Amino acid sequence: MQQIVTTGRLISRALWNGFTNLAPSNSEHVNKKREPSFLYAVCGFPKESSRKHPPIKGKFGDDAWFSAKGKATDVLGVADGVGGWRHYGIDPGEFSSFLMTTCERLVSLGKIKPNEPNKLLAQSYYELLENKQPILGSSTACVVVLNKETSSIYTANIGDSGFMVVRGGHVVHRSEEQQHYFNTPYQLSVPPPAHSGQVLSDSPDSADTSDFAVENGDVILLATDGVFDNVPDHLLLKELSKIEGVRDPTKLQCAANTIAWMARILAFDRSFLSPFALSAQANGINTVGGKPDDITVLLATIAI
């Protein structure tokens, strides 16, 4: 996956202080085997948008993401640092960022089997535990691996980040949200020693895994809960259906921008009956409106 970064003034202005990224698959050489690959775009916003701090590649607030290419794999991932740690003087984004950059390195070094994304998350988490200088905090995470040799996707998801696959105008695969109870997702954690045993800390083995075949033109949305909590499925499906089979990087980037922008606007709409508000009501909490949060959108199409 060849990477092109765009930070033009026009895009930056249109998306407030968001950051966009184009990453087309390598088309310089003819692929005789017609192996599948990801053509992907990224867009997102930190919850607290500020023009004083320039966007950082791989991060939107406490969210983090990565893309990597292995010998026979294309891999995408997102993670959402648990913001509650900020009350203890801990930067929630440091944990999620370390988790994703470690995943990226392990994939690039060939340390992953295409059918074991859960072990990729586990190995990255264990490196956090063994780090000489403790990196404290918690994070949800979702990883999607494209096995080029078998035209198959393998996924691992822990918490309430997730993915959605669209084909023929329908959602054909999607992740299942993992919650201990309302608004408390499964999470990988490294708590301070004084809080060990007092905070939620799920094992990487608890990640929900899936695998399925992909077809040319399939659309894959990988995102943090800042998207799924604010944008109803029917609106996501409407946008994703428009780009089935699209290989034009600009069109794909525009779609990623649209979804991220939509999530941002709805997050701050106090009268909108968001998916988060509907879930709260189902749990006995009388509320309406969106849920302001960091937003990360990784949008990919399958090119064969």
For 204, phi then psi, to 5°, come to: -55, -25
Average pLDDT over residues 180-197: 90
Average pLDDT over residues 108-133: 95
Average pLDDT over residues 181-203: 89
Residue pointed to by tokens 């996956």:
1
pLDDT at 26: 47
How far apart CA 295 and CA 49 sit, in angstroms, is: 11
Q: Which domain holds residue 47?
A: 37-303
> Any idea what DSSP says for residue 86?
G
Q: Where are the alpha helices (DSSP H) in 109-248?
A: 117-130, 225-228, 233-241
Least confident stretch, 48-57, 168-177, 242-251: 48-57
Within a domain: 166: yes
Give me the CATH number covering residue 76: 3.60.40.10
The mean of the pLDDT values for the chain is 90
What is the total count of domains within the chain? 1
| pLDDT tens figures, 142-157 | 999 999 999 999 999 9
Angle between helices 233-241 and 249-267 (to 10 degrees): 160
Within a domain: 180: yes
Rg (C-alpha) for the chain, rounded Å, is 18
Q: What type of residue is 4?
A: I
Within a domain: 278: yes
Helix (H) or strand (E) holding 273: none
Within a domain: 90: yes
Within a domain: 28: no
Within a domain: 220: yes
Within a domain: 18: no
Average pLDDT over residues 96-109: 98
For 225, phi then psi, to 5°, come to: -70, -15
pLDDT at 277 over 60: yes
Written as six digits, the tokens of 26 are 């390598």
> pTM here?
0.90
| pLDDT tens figures, 10-61 | 333 334 334 455 554 444 444 456 799 999 999 999 999 765 567 788 999 9
